Every structure is written in C-alpha cells, then in structure tokens.
C-alpha cells in the first residue's frame, strides 16, 4: 500500500477551478454535522468497540455476555457501551433485572458491513 502512495502523481496546476470549489462549498455539511460525523467515525476507531458492534449485529446481548465473549471485565464493556450509546450506535432495553443492548438501527449495521466489505476487497 505504501508503494501506491509513494507513486501518486502530484498536481502541477496552480489554477483554482472556482466553479468546482463553489459547487462543493455549497454542498458542504454544516460544521456541527461534520463534528458529529467525526465523532461517529472516532467511535469506530477502537477494536473493542468494533467487536461489541459485531457481536450486537449478530444478537442482542447483556453486558455479562459481551464481557464473557470478549474476555474483558464488565466494567470495561460498560465503559465502551457508554461511548457507543452517547454517539447513538447502540441502545438498550431493560427486561426485569437484565439490560440487553442492541444496535441502534440498521444504519449502524450498514456502516459496519460497508467497512468490512471495503477492507475485504482491498486485501
């Protein structure tokens, strides 16, 4: 992969294409939306959170089950679930004394699956 980056051509052009710049500028999302998007992608930058998201894409699970699956403490899993909840990637439902976590919606599954698809075709 580094060879591809090393061999990338450089642009020798100094002309600014005002029409292109203006067109993209008008479509650019608001600053707050860009911030929220960056927070979303940051939450995917941790392998433990990715493993939790994968697990929840397969089955709704409680903290104890996720901790057992990933061989981590319940405290560590709870911390990661809090991060995922805050960015609205996971949600929970309480049934009696047990709290079950699931993906917030199908968009989360789609984002996760698109990432997996992308890396599988670049191998």
Give the pLDDT mean for 36-43.
Answer: 93
- The confidence score (pLDDT) of residue 7 equals 75
Q: Under 8 Å CB-to-CB from 84, ≥6 apart: which residues?
A: 43, 49, 52, 53, 90
Output the DSSP codes for 77-94: HHHHHHHHHHTTSEEEEE
Q: Which of 43, 46, 45, 47 is nearest to 90 (CA)?
A: 43
The whole-number pLDDT of residue 117 equals 93
Lowest mean pLDDT among 54-68, 75-89, 90-104, 106-120: 106-120
Q: Reduced to 3 states, what is the DSSP secondary structure of residue 53?
A: helix
In whole numbers, what is the pLDDT of the chain averaged over residues? 92
Tally of CB atoms within 10 A around 10:
5
For residue 1, pLDDT beyond 70: no
Domains contained in the chain, CATH given:
31-121 (1.10.10.10)
DSSP single-letter state for residue 96: T
Q: What is the pLDDT of residues 58-73, one digit of tens each?
A: 999 999 999 999 999 9
For 1-123, where are the alpha helices, taking DSSP H only?
A: 2-6, 18-27, 31-43, 47-58, 63-70, 74-86, 106-121
């Amino acid at each position: 992969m580094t060879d591809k980056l090393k061999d990338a051509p450089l642009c020798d052009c100094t002309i600014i294409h005002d029409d292109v710049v203006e067109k993209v500028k008008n479509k650019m999302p608001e600053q707050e939306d860009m911030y929220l998007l960056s927070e979303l992608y940051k939450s995917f930058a941790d392998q433990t959170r990715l493993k939790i998201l994968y697990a929840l894409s397969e089955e709704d699970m409680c903290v104890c089950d996720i901790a057992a699956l990933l061989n981590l403490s319940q405290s560590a899993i709870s911390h990661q679930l809090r991060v995922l909840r805050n960015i609205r990637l996971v949600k929970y439902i309480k049934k009696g004394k047990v709290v079950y976590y699931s993906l917030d919606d199908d968009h989360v599954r789609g984002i996760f699956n698109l990432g997996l698809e992308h890396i599988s075709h670049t191998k």
